[in-house]
Amino acid sequence: MCIRDRYMSIAAERCVPIGDVSFEDACMFYVNPLTALGFLLEAKNRNSKGIVHTAAASSLGQMLVKLCIKHNLELINICLLYTSPSPRDRTRSRMPSSACKKKKKKK
């Protein structure tokens, strides 16, 4: 990735000071509300009765709960566990030990 792809210049009046907040948390102030609004507008534009969302426990999922109640949309909020590889996946199995044992072949 080129450096210019990672940084950009904008006018100071368009900036919001974040104070003593991590960059990750500060990003959620902007990205998640716009994503939730995008879900809502897309559902309304398609005359949908509801939204299916697969990150129920996330900040976005919690925002969608409130928006869907306010705008009378059904929400199916699914919480998927272990959907992405974690560094610990390389060191140990999450399977029960009984599932990892090799079974003897019958002759």
Cα(67)–Cα(5) distance, integer angstroms = 33
Helix (H, G, I), strand (E, B) or coil at 51: strand
- Amino acid making up residue 85: P
Strands 50-53 and 74-77: parallel
Give the residue from 81, 84, 41, 34 showing the smallest Cα distance to 59: 34
User: Over the stretch 21-31, which tens digit does the pLDDT of each residue have?
Assistant: 887 777 777 77
Q: How far apart are CA 60 and CA 71, in angstroms?
A: 16
Average pLDDT over every residue of 81-95: 56
Instruction: Give tens-digit pLDDT for 29-82.
Output: 777 888 899 999 999 999 999 999 888 778 888 889 999 999 999 999 887 665
- Residue whose tokens read 């949309």: 73
Indicate the average pLDDT of the chain.
76
The alpha-helical segments, DSSP class H, found in the chain are 23-45, 59-70, 97-100
State residue 99's pLDDT score. 47
Look at residue 4 and tell me whether its pLDDT is greater than 70. no
pTM for the model: 0.54
